[in-house]
Amino acid sequence: MVRVFCVFSNNPRLAGSKQYRPVSSQEILLAVRDEIHRGSSLVNHPLYGNFRPHQQPYRTLVVEKPSSPGGVDVPSLTLIEKALALYRSYEGRIMTPGILDPSVEADYAYVDGELVRETLRHCHLEELLSEGEDDQKSRSGGHEE
């Protein structure tokens, strides 16, 4: 069985992923929530360790597409809704890309990429991750849709 994954990100380091969009981190979570309602399940946890929602402008989430049409994955839905509830408590303070000093923003993009590296490796998609904003080539090695 071929497992198919989908990478949702607003991080320029993942500009090669098909679901890359330069939006807020909260909008990435919302897009993933919709995808979960279409039957996908979360691969990584929707919250960061050690960043609060308004502190980190970037977010990358990986979902696995359903192998066959079925219901909604309730644990994934619960996790994403709990995370969105936390994001809503920071309403108006959520960081969007382009606000911070570029060097600080580059650090945040770097860390987001490194924190998702393990997940991408798990999905054989590590090659999607570029080293920085100067290297945005898409080199998909796994199965991404």
Partner 1 sequence: MKLELHRLKVNALAWGERTSLVGGRLTIDGEALRSLLAEDSRFRSVALDLALPGDKVRLIPVKDVVEPRCRLDGGPLFPGFVGDVETVDEGETVVLEGAAVVTCGAIVGFQEGIIDMTGPGAEYTPFSKTCNLVVSLEPVEGLEKHDYEAACRLAGFRAAHYLANAVRGVAADSVETVVWPPLSEALSAHPGLPRVAYLYMLQSQGLLHDTYLYGVDVKRILPTLVSPTEVMNGAIVSGNCVSACDKNSTYAHQNNPVIAALLRRHGREINFVGCIVTNENVTLADKKRSSGQAVKLARMLGVEGLLISEEGFGNPDADLIMNCHRAEAAGIRTVLITDEFAGSDGASQSLADATAEATAVVSAGNANARIVLPPMERVIGFPREANVIAGGFEGSLRDDGSIEVEIQAITGATNELGLGRLSAVTV
Q: How far is the CB of 137 from partner 1 (least distance, A)?
A: 19
Q: How far is the CB of 71 from partner 1 (least distance, A)?
A: 18
- For residues 7-27, b (16+ Cβ closer than 10 Å) or e, as one string? bbbbbbbbbbbebbeebbbbb
Determine which residue in the list 45, 72, 74, 141 makes contact with partner 1, applying CB under 8 A: 45
- CB atoms < 10 A from the CB of 144, how many? 21
Q: Say if CB 126 and CB 107 are below 8 A apart.
A: no
49: contact with partner 1 by CB under 8 A: yes
51: contact with partner 1 by CB under 8 A: yes
48: contact with partner 1 by CB under 8 A: yes
Q: What is the C-alpha to C-alpha distance for residues 5 and 116, in angstroms, rounded to an integer?
A: 14
Query: Nearest CA to 10 among 63, 53, 57?
Result: 57
Determine which residue in the list 29, 42, 125, 129 makes contact with partner 1, applying CB under 8 A: 42
Q: How far is the CB of 80 from partner 1 (least distance, A)?
A: 11
* CB of 20 or CB of 87, closer to partner 1: 87
Q: What is the C-alpha to C-alpha distance for residues 141 and 66, in angstroms, rounded to an integer?
A: 20
Place of tokens 């981190």: 25
* CB of 15 or CB of 62, closer to partner 1: 62
47: contact with partner 1 by CB under 8 A: yes
Residues at the contact surface with partner 1, assessed by CB under 8 A: 42-52, 55, 75, 79, 82-83, 86, 89, 100-101, 104, 107-108, 110-111, 114-119, 122
